[in-house]
């Protein structure tokens, strides 16, 4: 297990290092913020209304989704990220063994929060010692405020196949061995310095973190946690995507 932890940590660091090389091409690409008015448009359409207004909206949205920056997490526990999500779709994807699930922020309606994510299992669950791994891709930013003083991370009941934490508390300790499998990638590294605060962990900072970790004798997840001070998987931390969807932000403990 120890070796496995080491191996996975090394892999994560290697990936982050690769991304660090790409980080030099940080350029500005302000993603349009698509307004989700589709439901109403659909209603109008289905009631025989003029459908011309539908096209720009949908186009705008789809384009924004495809062109938008994203943050990708690879994790065995895709549903514990500090936010509440509502599943709105599932699709079988070509050349994938498992369907992809689509989630939007639970507070989309009330707070017009535009954050979405997709979850897809990419590793066959080979046994009890080999937890299924999921690729989680986050789009957009959370503009919603977390409801209540919910210190526990949001627990999202989703796929029945979810095997995470088997009914245990929705909280992982940093020493949880599963956490050693986490890696973080991003499709675009653009840092808006005006958006940053002291508590922000941007992609670049994550990459720096990886570099620092590489120069340190890090043998356990506990040490990684200690070195970094936090992790993208810290459930006591609230995470968000920055205003332009470029960075993974930490906005609270």
Partner DNA sequence: TTTATTTGACCCAT
Partner DNA sequence: ATGGGTCAAATAAA
Q: Does 241 bind DNA (CB under 7 A)?
A: no
Q: Does 118 bind DNA (CB under 7 A)?
A: yes
The distance of closest approach from Cβ of residue 84 to DNA in the complex, given in angstroms and rounded to an integer, is 8
Which C-beta is closer to DNA: that of 118 or that of 177?
Answer: 118
Contact indicator for 9, 218 with CB cutoff of 8 Å? yes
| Separation of alpha carbons 247 and 116, rounded Å | 15
Residue 146 touches DNA, criterion: CB under 7 A: no
Q: Which of 158, 165, 220, 223 binds DNA (CB under 7 A)?
A: 158
104 interacts with DNA by CB under 7 A: yes
Say if CB 85 and CB 47 are below 8 A apart: no
Task: Say which DSSP state 118 is in.
Answer: E
Q: Does residue 160 touch DNA according to CB under 7 A?
A: yes
Q: According to the binding rule CB under 7 A, does residue 47 interact with DNA?
A: no
- Name the residue among 48, 8, 43 with its Cα closest to residue 131: 8
d(CA 220, CA 6): 7
Q: Which is nearer to DNA, 79 or 246 (CB)?
A: 79
| CB contact at 8 A, 213 and 221 | no
Decide: is 54 part of the binding site for DNA (CB under 7 A): yes
72 binds DNA (CB under 7 A): no
Number of alpha helices (DSSP H) and beta strands (DSSP E) in the chain = 6, 8
**List 157, 198, 215, 217, residue binding DNA (CB under 7 A):** 157
**Binding to DNA in span 80-99, by CB under 7 A:** 86-91, 93-94
The answer to whether the beta carbons of residues 129 and 4 sit under 8 Å apart is no
**What 3-state class would DSSP assign to 169?**
coil
Judged by CB under 7 A, does residue 164 bind DNA? no
Q: Which of 9, 116, 177, 202 binds DNA (CB under 7 A)?
A: 116
Site string for DNA, 176-205 (x = CB under 7 A): ------------------------------
On the CB side of 214, how many CA atoms lie within 13 Å of its CA? 16
Residue 165 in contact with DNA, rule: CB under 7 A: no
Closer residue to DNA in complex, CB, 20/38: 38
Burial code of 59-92, b = ≥16 C-beta within 10 A, e = fewer?
ebbeebeeebbbbbbbbbbbbbbbbbbeeeeeee
42 near DNA (CB under 7 A): yes
Report the DSSP pairing between strands 100-105 and 85-91.
Answer: antiparallel
- Shorter beta-carbon distance to DNA: residue 102 or 251: 102
CB 18 within 8 A of CB 203: no
| Residues at the contact surface with DNA, assessed by CB under 7 A | 36, 38-39, 41-43, 45-46, 54-55, 58-59, 61-63, 65-66, 86-91, 93-94, 100-102, 104, 106, 116, 118, 156-160
């Amino acid at each position: 297990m120890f070796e496995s932890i080491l191996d996975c940590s090394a892999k994560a660091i290697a990936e982050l290092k690769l991304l660090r090389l790409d980080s030099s091409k940080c350029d500005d690409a302000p993603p349009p913020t698509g307004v989700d008015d589709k439901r109403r448009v659909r209603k109008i359409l289905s009631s025989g209304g003029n459908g011309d207004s539908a096209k720009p909206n949908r186009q705008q949205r789809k384009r924004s989704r495809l062109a938008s920056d994203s943050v990708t997490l690879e994790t065995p526990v895709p549903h514990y990220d500090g936010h509440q999500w509502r599943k709105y779709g599932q699709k079988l994807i070509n050349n994938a063994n498992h369907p992809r699930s689509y989630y939007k922020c639970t507070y989309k309606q009330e707070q017009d929060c535009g954050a979405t994510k997709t979850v897809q299992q990419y590793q066959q669950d080979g046994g009890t010692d080999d937890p299924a791994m999921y690729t989680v891709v986050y789009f957009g930013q959370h503009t919603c405020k977390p409801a209540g003083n919910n210190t526990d991370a949001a627990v999202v009941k989703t796929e029945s196949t979810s095997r995470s934490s088997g009914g245990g508390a929705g909280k992982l300790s940093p020493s949880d061995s599963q956490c050693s499998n986490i890696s973080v990638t991003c499709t675009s590294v653009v840092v808006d310095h005006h958006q940053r605060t002291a508590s922000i962990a941007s992609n670049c900072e994550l990459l720096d973190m990886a570099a620092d970790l590489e120069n340190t004798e890090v043998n356990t997840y506990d040490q990684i946690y200690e070195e970094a001070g936090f992790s993208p998987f810290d459930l006591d931390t609230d995470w968000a995507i920055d205003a332009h969807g470029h960075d993974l932000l930490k906005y609270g403990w």
